Amino acid sequence: MILTIDRLGHLGDAIAQGPEGPVYVAQALPGEVVEGEPVAGRIAAPRIITPSPDRVRAPCPHFRACGGCSLQYASDGFVEGWKADVVRSALAGQGLEAPLRPVVTSPARSRRRATLAGRRTKKGALVGFHGRASEMLTEIEQCLLLHPALMATLPLLREVTVAGASRQGELGLMVTLTTGGLDLAVTGGKPMDAALFAALAGLAEAGDLARLSWNGEPVATRRPPAQRFGAAEVVPAAGAFLQATAEGEAALLAAVTEAVGGVRSIADLFAGSGTFALPLASRAEVHAVESEVAALAALDTGWRRAGGLHKVSTEARDLFRRPLLPDELRRFGAVVIDPPRAGAEAQAAELARSAVPVIAAVSCNPVTFARDARLLLAGGYRIDWLQVVDQFRWSPHVELVARFSR
């Protein structure tokens, strides 16, 4: 069957109109003429008859087998435009529009956190990434996404896998770059015993890790695995949320800081370990609200140690079930809100009823963002601007910051 691609869907699959309805086509671009036979409505390996001018040779040798970077066959300019369009169409789905600023994309080799998979083999260990929606593990020799310091841990990750993966099981190897060096959090490992503990402690030493945790328990903390948030150093719990690249975090923070302006009192909702709250505390009092007690404890310790910042208070609260109410929001000149992918429908409904003058909304899901934005606009807010921040380059993932005011 020969088809012409209409558009890319929001998950990055190309979509063409077939004789019996839409056909999904892997790794194709709008305007391309492709050939292939659909299986269950999808062409997994199309032959490209007429390539798009936006098609590029994927720069990574692992592109075919690895599950990351699924948009690497498209030019940077195309991906940026497409991500902006994903946001525009999510807003249009709610009858909304917003002035979009140019997309800010994190550079290659800047991911400071990644979770690799490790499996034992007859010869030793295989460490890499899974194929797209597949059990196949691709050994990674080079990766254009990961920070070089993360890549340098691959030999150590193989040794950790040999030492601590069961015969059948697979390890999750989450590596994070911190100010103290690398923080490795392993899940799915063999149960701890004295011999394994000694082996892992030895590997943490040999690999000069800041911290090594095993199935949620610390094995070795050789230096504090800290993150710098403004003037504060925070040691997040192993595996706690962290923005994926330093550049992405800086772009989000710059947009949030600009959005809130010179107000004296800010609520940071879904605050995590203080990515926004602590830098903002150099200019305003901040009330940080979040459901993870450990994240708030890390934030609070970082604030106390930093000194010289305005007051930062913390509150552990489930904002889905108990959003801040208009009365509680009254004292804030601005609210920062950065929910998980599900969005913050209940909190948006309360903000819509509030008198808060400015909202800086950060989102990793344009669909739930648009749903929540509609509530805010119905409550009298307008969208002043919207900034797409791409810290997951070559992937269909889209993040953004928007300023709302009333």
Where in the sequence numbering do the catalytic residues fall?
364
**Two tokens, residue 342:** 């599900």
Identity (one letter) of the amino acid at 203?
A: L
Spatial contact of 211 and 239, defined as CB atoms under 8 Å apart: no
Helix (H) / strand (E) element for 138: namely strand 137-139
- Closer by beta carbon to ligand SAM, 4 or else 282: 282
Q: Does 82 bind ligand SAM (CB under 6 A)?
A: no
Site map (CB under 6 A) of ligand SAM, residues 343-382, x = contact: ---------------------x------------------
- Closer by beta carbon to ligand SAM, 241 or else 385: 241
* Angle, CA of 264, 265 and 270, to the nearest 5°: 140
State the nearest-atom distance from the C-beta of 121 to ligand SAM, in Å: 36
Chain centre distance of CA 343:
14
Tokens 């923070």, located at residue: 253
Site map (CB under 6 A) of ligand SAM, residues 262-291, x = contact: --------xxx--xx-------------xx
- CA–CA gap between residue 342 and residue 363 (Å, rounded): 10
Report helix, strand or coil for 167.
coil
State the nearest-atom distance from the C-beta of 242 to ligand SAM, in Å: 6
- Tell me which residue of 272, 362, 281, 288 sits closest to 324, measured CA to CA: 288
Q: Does 90 bind ligand SAM (CB under 6 A)?
A: no
Candidates 25-33, 87-95, 128-136, 336-344 — which segment interacts with ligand SAM by CB under 6 A?
336-344
From 295, 299, 361, 398, residue interacting with ligand SAM (rule: CB under 6 A): 295
- Closer by beta carbon to ligand SAM, 114 or else 165: 114
Q: Does 241 bind ligand SAM (CB under 6 A)?
A: yes
Q: Does 237 bind ligand SAM (CB under 6 A)?
A: no
Chain centre distance of CA 245:
9
State the nearest-atom distance from the C-beta of 352 to ligand SAM, in Å: 18
Which DSSP letter does residue 12 get? S
**Two tokens, residue 331:** 């004292």
Chain centre distance of CA 24:
26
From 170, 338, 350, 390, residue interacting with ligand SAM (rule: CB under 6 A): 338
HSE of 301, CA atoms in CB hemisphere, 13 A: 15
Candidates 52-60, 98-106, 301-309, 333-341 — which segment interacts with ligand SAM by CB under 6 A?
333-341
**In the sheet that 358-363 helps form, which strands lie side by side, from edge to edge?**
100-105, 382-390, 399-405, 358-363, 334-337, 265-269, 285-290, 312-316
From 52, 213, 243, 354, residue interacting with ligand SAM (rule: CB under 6 A): 243
Q: By CB under 6 A, name the binding residues for ligand SAM.
A: 241, 243, 270-272, 275-276, 290-292, 295, 318-320, 338-340, 364
